[in-house]
Amino acid sequence: MLLILLLTLTLVVLPDNCWAWGIGFHLQVGSWLLDNSAALAEPLRQLLARCPQDYLYGCIAADITLGKKFTHYLKHCHSWRVALQLIDQARTDGQKACAYGYLSHLAMDTVAHSFFVPFKMVRTYPSVMLKHAYWEMRMEGNVPPETWLLARRIARHDFRANDELLRSIIANTLFSFGTNKRIFNSLLMLNRLQHWQKMMRSMGRNSRWDIPAERRDDYLTLARTVTESILRQMDQSPFWAADPAGERALYAARLLRKNLHLLHVSGKLSPEEGTALVL
C-alpha cells in the first residue's frame, strides 16, 4: 500500500507533460486494433499477427522516458520523427512490430494531448490540483479487467531486443534509458495491483468532475480511429498534422486555466459565467 501511495503522489506532482493516456488505455486500444486489423495492408497485418506481444509492448514503450521536456524537440520521444526512425532502424519482425506499436501510441496521444487533457484542464480551472496526470489516471479507472490481465502477460515477457532498438534511437533526458526502464517497470507492476485499480475507480466516484460513459466512449473511439488511420493510410492519413506531444494545445490550456483560476479566486468570475465560457 505504501508503494501505491508513493507512486501515486509522484504521478500527481510530476510536470504536466509526463504522460498522455495511461498504460491500460494504450493496451486497450492496441488490443482492439489487433482484433480489427483486416483493413491494414496485408504485410503489416501479417507482421502484427506474428508478433502481437511486441506490438503491444510498443504501444506502451513510448512512455518509458521520463522528463520528456528536457530534451531537444527534434529528439522528443513523442514525435513522429522518432517513431519513423524506429521503423526504419528495426531489423527483426519483433522490432518492426514494436516500432509500429510505438507509432500507434503516438497516434493515440494526439487525442489525449490535443483534445482530452487540454479540455479537462480548462474545465476544472477552479481546482489547483486536477491537472494532466490526474485525468490520465481517471481514464485508467475505466479500463476493463481483461486489459490488466494483458498487462500482466506483457510484464512477464522478454523484450530485450526491442529495448536495444529503443535505446539506440531515444535520447536520454533526466535519466538514462536503463534508469527510465526500471522506473517504467515499477509503474507497470503498479498497474497490475488490484488496490491501484480500485483507487483509480474511487477517484471517479468521489469527484465532482464526472466523465460520463458516453464521453469516455467518444475518446476511446476517436483514439481507435486515429490509430487505425495512421496504420492503414500511412502518409495519406490526415492525422499526421496533429502533434502527439500536444505542446501548443497544452500550453494554451495552461494559460487559460491560470487566467480563469485567477478570475475565479478574485471573485470576478462566477461559477455560472465560468461554466458558460468553458462548455
Task: For residue 157, count other CB atoms closer than 10 A to its CB.
Answer: 11
Q: In Å, how far are 41, 123, 214 from 164, measured between CA atoms?
A: 27, 41, 40
3-state SS string for 62-78: CCCCCCHHHCCHHHCCC
**What is the per-residue pLDDT for 22?**
86
Pick from 57, 59, 51: nearest CA to 20: 59
DSSP 115: I
Domain count for the chain: 1
Q: What is the pLDDT of residue 197?
A: 67
pLDDT of residue 255: 94
Range of the domain at 161: 2-278
Helix, strand or coil for residue 165?
Answer: helix
Distance between CA atoms of residues 230 and 238, nearest Å: 8
- d(C-alpha 240, C-alpha 103), whole Å: 11
Q: How far apart are CA 265 and CA 73, in angstroms?
A: 35
Q: Are 278 and 260 in contact, with CB atoms under 8 Å apart?
A: yes
pLDDT score recorded for residue 39: 94
**pTM to 2 decimals?**
0.86
pLDDT on residue 17: 43
- Residues 135 and 250 sit within 8 Å (Cβ to Cβ): no
C-alpha cell at 105: 501510441
**Mean pLDDT per 10-residue section of the chain, whose length is 279 residues:** 46 47 92 97 98 97 72 71 97 98 97 92 83 74 87 89 93 71 72 64 71 88 98 97 93 93 92 85
What single letter denotes the amino acid at residue 1? Answer: M
